[in-house]
């Protein structure tokens, strides 16, 4: 609690300025953040030239939660497109992030992609829909460690990192026998880069891009769409928006 309060004070937002000015400053900060044009408190400095009090030291640790949504384009695009009609889908998730000293952070995220399609037969360049409903669900649980390119007092902080994930792949379909549905978890790896923008005392937003690879998660069954297209990687590229609560 104290850490958050301290940080806000350092950035001047907790200072009781004239009511009208405070609103102006906040709106400018939001616009800058969304456009991605801001460069931390430099922008703030331009719009808020008032002299600062001496900055107390930032706390060395913090924890915050986040929820996110985004769009994933799967590496196994032909397979996803054949069965689900698209190689891109919406993904929802959430997690916690721990801020450590030296601008290091560690996060734990769980997310979910789910979409319905139908089973197919693939012959040469033709895909025949068979009218048998199928549901594909991908649930990655990912641990990410990374570096934040700015002190916590900055309003907008870029970051980058990488990590390991456990990707649960489920595929269920009508008329499936006992062993014909799929429920497997495979390990994968990912790289991530993005930026957080604090919008209020307890709330911020962020934008993030992630590339992940989950090798050999698909294509094992010779009678699968992924085998037909020789696609084995369950990873992909995800662009997401984060909503951060805390810090």
Partner 1 sequence: MDTFTGARAKAVALSAASALWLATAAAQDGGIAAPYRTMLSQVTAPAIDRGPRDNDAPGPARTSRDRRITRSGNADRPYLSGSVIVKFRPGTSPGAQRAMLALVDGAGTPHLPYADFEIVAIDDDADPEAVARKLSTQPDVAYAQARHLVYPMFVPNDPMYSRQWNYPAIDMERAWDIHRARATDVVVAVLDSGVAYRSALLSFGTVAWGFDAITIFPSLGSIIVPFAAAPDLGGTERFVAPRDFIWNDTLPLDLDGHGTHVTGTIAQTTNNNLGGAGMASNVRIMPVKVIPGYWDQIFGAPFDGTDDVVARGIRYAVDNGAKVINMSIGGPGSAPVVQSAVVYAVSHGVFVVVAAGNGFDLGNPAEGLAEFAPEIDGMVAVGAVGRDLQRAQYSTTGPHVELAAPGGDASRGGTPAGILQQTFDSDMVETYAFGPSRYEAPRFDVFAYEFLQGTSMAAPHVSGFAALLMQQGITDPAAIEAVMKRYATDLGVAGRDGEYGYGLINPRAALRGMGLAK
Q: Which residues bind partner 1 (CB under 8 A)?
A: 76, 79-80, 82-84, 119-124, 126, 128-132, 134, 136, 169, 171, 173-177, 180-182, 184, 217-221, 223-226, 228
Q: Which residue has the tokens 């139908």?
A: 118
165: enclosing H helix or E strand: strand 156-173
Identify which of 134, 111, 243, 244 has the alpha carbon closest to the alpha carbon of residue 190: 111
Cβ distance to partner 1 smaller for residue 195 or 225: 225
Of residues 139 and 193, the one with the C-beta less far from partner 1? 139
Burial class (CB in 10 A: 0-12, 13-18, 19+), 103: middle
Q: How far is the CB of 182 from partner 1 (least distance, A)?
A: 5
CA atoms within 13 A on the CB side of 49: 1
* Residue 53 burial class via C-beta count within 10 angstroms: exposed 0-12, middle 13-18, buried 19 and up: exposed
> Shortest distance, CB of residue 227 to partner 1, whole angstroms?
8
Compare residues 154 and 169 and give the one whose CB is closer to partner 1.
169
Considering the complex, state which of residue 2 and residue 223 has its C-beta at the smaller distance from partner 1: 223
- Is the Cβ of residue 71 or residue 135 nearer to partner 1 in the bound state? 135
- Of the chain, the end-to-end C-alpha distance in Å amounts to 9
Q: Quick one: tokens of 245?
A: 């609560």
- Give least dist CB 229 to partner 1, A: 10
The secondary structure of the chain in percent helix, strand, coil, rounded to multiples of 5, reads 20, 50, 30
Least Å distance, CB 19 to partner 1, is: 56
CB of 179 to partner 1, least distance (A): 9
Q: Does residue 3 sit in helix, strand or coil?
A: helix
* Closer residue to partner 1 (CB): 38 or 217: 217
Q: Which residues contact 54 (CB under 8 A, 6 or more apart)?
A: none
To partner 1, the closest distance from the beta carbon of 30 in angstroms equals 41
């Amino acid at each position: 609690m104290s850490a958050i309060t301290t940080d806000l004070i350092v950035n001047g937002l907790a200072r009781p300025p004239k009511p009208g000015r405070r609103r102006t400053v906040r709106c400018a900060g939001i616009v800058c953040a969304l456009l991605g044009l801001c460069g931390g408190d430099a922008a703030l400095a331009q719009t808020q030239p008032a002299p600062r009090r001496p900055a107390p030291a930032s706390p060395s640790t913090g924890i915050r939660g986040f929820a996110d949504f985004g769009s994933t384009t799967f590496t196994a695009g032909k397979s996803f497109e054949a069965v689900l009609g698209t190689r891109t889908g919406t993904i929802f998730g959430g997690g916690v992030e721990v801020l450590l000293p030296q601008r290091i952070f560690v996060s734990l995220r769980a997310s979910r992609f789910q979409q319905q399609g139908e089973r197919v037969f693939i012959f040469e360049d033709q895909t025949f829909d068979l009218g048998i409903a199928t549901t594909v669900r991908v649930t990655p649980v990912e641990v990410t460690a990374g570096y934040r390119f700015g002190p916590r007092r900055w309003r907008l902080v870029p970051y980058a990192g990488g990590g390991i994930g456990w990707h649960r792949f489920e595929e269920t379909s009508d008329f499936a026998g006992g062993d014909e549905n799929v429920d497997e978890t495979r390990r994968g790896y990912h790289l991530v880069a993005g930026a957080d923008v604090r919008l209020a005392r307890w709330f911020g937003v962020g934008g993030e891009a992630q590339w992940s690879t989950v090798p050999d998660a698909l294509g094992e069954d010779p009678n699968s769409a992924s085998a037909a297209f020789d696609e084995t990687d369950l990873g992909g590229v995800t662009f997401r928006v984060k909503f951060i609560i805390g810090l």
